Amino acid sequence: MMEGVALKLQFRNPTHCSSLFSSTLRHSSSPFLRCSFRRLSSPFSVSASASTARETDNLHLGPLSLGHITRPDFPILHQEVNGSKLVYLDNAATSQKPRAVLKALQNYYEAYNSNVHRGMHFLSTKATDEYELARKKVASFINARDASQIVFTRNATEAINLVAYSWGIPNLKLGDEVIITVAEHHSAIVPWQIVAQKTGAVLKIVNLGEHEVPNLKDFKEMFSTKTKLVVTHHVSNVLASVLPIEEIVGWAHRFGAKVVVDACQSVPHMVVDVQVLDADFLVASSHKMCGPTSIGFLYGKSELLSAMPPFLGGGEMISDVFLDHSSYAEPPSRFEAGTPAIGEAIGLGAAIDYLSGIGMQKIHSYEVELANYLYESLRAVPNIHIYGPAPTASVQRAALCSFNIENIHPTDIASFLDQQHGVAIRSGHHCAQPLHRALSVTASARASLYFYNTKEDVDYFIQALNDAVSFLDALR
């Protein structure tokens, strides 16, 4: 086995080499592979809730970090994977769920499962009240003026598509310009390519500048009277960079352009105030902020939502239906055709309660500390390149690092970390192929943290990464 792998790992960088270590391991019967799976008992006798976190914090108990305090709330973290304690560092892909969210979902299905907005009986009324309460919680969480500005969607991708089809196609015409950055997630690129093909609008691309972040000088100079829309991330899921959304919105509005903000990597990690940002649309996903999968939300300014036609047709989004025409409900119902994700919305509301109980500023401050620790720890690994800006007094990184190590494919690194150390990171293009091409690679490895991670998690990850590098280097 070793000789075969050594022959295959002759490629010199991730741009050209393919991942071979992981496929070799998958087809091997070697005792090198460890595939056990069992749950560890929690080191705490009771679950720490968000209120417990506050109480413990107020007691100033020694060196306990926010990560140590909140970890007991997440059952999934207390298990072994492949014979090692699980260290989950793939939070930019999805977050884990606290017991409060799991209980909210269980309670809905056990106690008041029913359809919403359609029944007068107790179960339906209770489900409707909790569903709409979740909408109010989302509105409050991002400081929207009114809950009617929050549209529940299947995910952030659907939210962006809703804007593309219901605002983009009716409002964009031949020669209009839509500005995006090369660092966007595919879900913020592909819908606008489709819209451009249908309308004749033109996509203008902001490329990378210094420190491997979108060039803000070029961004500002790209605006003209032809600019009708800007679609931009708040925090990059690859570069960990944070864009100045207030400034970008100001540039856009001076030219009468609208702004769509992809806030999937910011809403879970920092205070996001849509009134301060003044964005016209903003999208986020529940599953990245401790909530269930299969639900996200769109924030839109009331006057824009009211002027937009429906995205999907069917039940719930109508006012009256006749055989030859229909009239439509007011937002947000206009954009929520059919039975919605009721339990998931309620679970999202529970996640917001949990995060708010801790405090988003406290979460952000802790994650800034973790981000710096992760970056500085990774810098010590030989032959590593970390993408995005270095943290400074004036530049804050999100708590993630995408990286490559010379002559080693990132998928080999991720496979080794998982199978030999129980460390979960991501490898691949992270739904950002144009960005990776701009970085002259096809893939990268990514470690991403959340508030329930600790510096000990980072230390263990670095130790495991050095072990992976030593092993994989020996195969060349």
CA separation for the pair 293, 423 (Å, rounded): 22
CA separation for the pair 359, 196 (Å, rounded): 41
State mean pLDDT over 169-189.
98
Phi and psi torsions of 10, nearest 5°: -90, -10
State mean pLDDT over 330-342.
97
Strands 444-448 and 426-428: antiparallel
Taking phi over 0 as left and psi of -120 to 50 as alpha, with beta for the rest, 217 belongs to alpha
Look at residues 468, 458, 464 and name the one whose alpha carbon lies nearest to residue 407.
468
Q: Could you tell me which residues are beta bridge partners of residue 405?
A: 384, 408
State mean pLDDT over 166-172.
98
Reported as a single tens digit per residue, the pLDDT across 221-278 is 999 999 999 999 999 999 999 999 999 999 999 999 999 999 999 999 999 999 999 9
Residue 311: CA count within 13 A, CB half-sphere: 25
pLDDT of residue 10: 33
State mean pLDDT over 345-352.
98
Percent pLDDT > 70 in the chain is 87
State mean pLDDT over 413-418.
98
Q: Residue with structure tokens 């270095």?
A: 390
State mean pLDDT over 144-168.
98
Q: Is the separation of the CB atoms in 229 and 259 below 8 Å?
A: yes
**Sequence ranges of the domains in the chain:** 66-89+359-475, 99-357
State mean pLDDT over 151-155.
98
More confident residue, 26 or 466: 466
Question: How is residue 209 annotated by DSSP?
Answer: -
The domain made up of 66-89+359-475 is a member of CATH 3.40.50.10420: no
Amino acid identity of residue 320, one-letter, is D
State mean pLDDT over 415-422.
98
Q: Is the peptide bond before 31 cis (omega within 30 degrees of 0)?
A: no
Q: Is the separation of the CB atoms in 38 and 80 below 8 Å?
A: yes
Give the pair of three-digit tokens for residue 165.
């089809």
pLDDT of residue 6: 31
pLDDT of residue 393: 86
Q: What stretches of 142-165 show up as alpha helix (H) in DSSP?
A: 156-163
Question: Which CATH number, 1.10.1040.10, 3.40.50.880, 3.40.50.300, 3.40.640.10, labels domain 99-357?
Answer: 3.40.640.10
Q: Residue with structure tokens 């401050």?
A: 365
On the question of pLDDT at 13 being above 90, the answer is: no
Percent pLDDT > 90 in the chain is 85
More confident residue, 432 or 4: 432
Reported as a single tens digit per residue, the pLDDT across 100-129 is 999 999 999 999 999 999 899 999 999 999
State mean pLDDT over 210-229.
97
Give the pair of three-digit tokens for residue 145.
């003026």
On the question of pLDDT at 440 being above 60, the answer is: yes
Q: Residue with structure tokens 């809703």?
A: 162
pTM of the model: 0.89
Q: Residue with structure tokens 């708010």?
A: 356
On the question of pLDDT at 22 being above 70, the answer is: no
**Taking the CA atoms of the chain, what radius of gyration do you get in angstroms?**
23
Look at residues 350, 395, 344, 372 and name the one whose alpha carbon lies nearest to residue 458.
372
pLDDT of residue 63: 74
Sheet containing strand 79-81, strands side by side: 37-39, 79-81, 84-85
Average pLDDT, the chain: 90
pLDDT of residue 9: 35
CA separation for the pair 228, 223 (Å, rounded): 9
342-358 vs 360-379: helix crossing angle, rounded to 10 = 80
User: Binning pLDDT at 50, 70 and 90, where does residue 2 land?
Assistant: very low
Q: Which of 59-63, 73-77, 153-157, 325-329 has the lowest mean pLDDT?
A: 59-63
User: Binning pLDDT at 50, 70 and 90, where does residue 476 land?
Assistant: confident
Give the pair of three-digit tokens for residue 299.
């924030």
More confident residue, 34 or 82: 82
CA separation for the pair 12, 409 (Å, rounded): 9
pLDDT of residue 42: 35
Amino acid identity of residue 222, one-letter, is M
Helix (H) or strand (E) holding 418, with range, is: helix 410-421
Look at residues 265, 210, 214, 261 and name the one whose alpha carbon lies nearest to residue 446.
265
pLDDT of residue 62: 54
Q: Is 193 exposed, middle or buried (0-12, 13-18, 19+ CB in 10 A)?
A: middle
Residues noted as catalytic? 431
On the question of pLDDT at 7 being above 80, the answer is: no
CA separation for the pair 229, 408 (Å, rounded): 40
Reported as a single tens digit per residue, the pLDDT across 44-72 is 333 334 444 433 344 334 579 999 999 99
pLDDT of residue 48: 39
